[in-house]
Amino acid sequence: MITVHHLENSRSQRVLWLLEELGLPYEVKRYARNPKTLLAPPELAAVHPLGKSPVISDGDLVVAESGAIVEYLLDEHGQGRLRGAPGTSERRLLSYWLHFSEGSLMPPLVMKLVFDKVREAPVPFFIKPVVRGVADQVMRSYLGPNITRLLAFMEAELARRPWFAGPEFSAADIQMSYPVEAAAARAGLDASQHPRLSEWLQRIHARPAYQKALKSGGPYSPIP
C-alpha cells in the first residue's frame, strides 16, 4: 500500500491527485504546519531525513521530491498512462515540465513569499522604511520581472497546445498545478493577462480526480 505523508497546503496535494488519476489505492498520513513559521513538523524527519513534503512510502521504499515521486509512480504503477511514449515529443515535454516546475518556477515564487514576509515583519519603526525599501527593490529589479517572464512563457506555451505536454492531459499538468496555483494566489496571475493559464486552471480543477484528491487531503491553499 502506498502511503502519502501529506503536509497541509503543500506540494503533496498533487501526489494525491496523481494517485487518484491513476486509480491507485493509497492511505494518507497527515501533518500540520507550524502556524507561526509555516514549516513542516519534526515528525516528517522520521520518514525522510530532510523532514519535508512530499514524500511517499511504498512498502519499504521511501521516495521524496515531487518529480521523483511522479516518475516513480508512472514507472511502477502507471502502465503507460499520463505520459507519452518514449522518444515522442510528449515524453520530452513531460520531462521538461517536471524539472521546470521546481527548477525554474518555484524558486522565485518562494523568494517572493520570503520578501513579502520580510516587508511586513515587525521591526522598530525607524528600521521599517529600510526593510521595506530593500524588499521593494528586490521585487522591482529581480523577482517581479522574473515572475512576469515565467508567466508569459507558460501562457505562450499553452497557446501552442491545450496541455503542457501535448494534446492530452498528462502528469506534466499535475506537476505544474501547484506552482501555477501559487502564482494565481500570490504572484499576479490573473485572467486578464493570462487567459490561457487561467482557463487551464479551471479545467484541472474541474477534473473528478482533482476533486477526489481535495477530499482526501483536506483544506488546501498552496504555499510556495
- Domain around 179: 89-207
Number of domains in the chain: 2
How far is the CA of 33 from the CAs of 52, 84, 165, in angstroms?
11, 36, 32
Q: What is the CATH number of the domain that holds 127?
A: 1.20.1050.10
Backbone angles phi, psi at 221, to 5 degrees: -145, 115
Give the mean pLDDT of 79-99.
Answer: 97
* Residues 17 and 57 grouped into a single domain: yes
Select from 95, 195, 105, 100 the least CA-distant residue to 149.
105
Residues 103-113: tens digit of each pLDDT: 999 999 998 88
Residue the block writes with cell 497557446? 159
The answer to whether residue 223 sits within a structural domain is: no
Give the span between the Cα atoms of 123 and 131, in whole angstroms.
9
Q: What is the pLDDT of residue 17?
A: 98
Residues 30-59: tens digit of each pLDDT: 999 998 888 899 999 999 999 999 999 999
Residues 150-197: tens digit of each pLDDT: 999 999 999 999 999 999 999 999 999 999 999 999 878 989 999 999
Q: Got the DSSP string for 128-140?
A: HHHHHHHHHHHII
Other beta carbons within 10 angstroms of residue 55's beta carbon come to 27
* Residues 93 and 202 grouped into a single domain: yes
Backbone angles phi, psi at 2, to 5 degrees: -80, 130
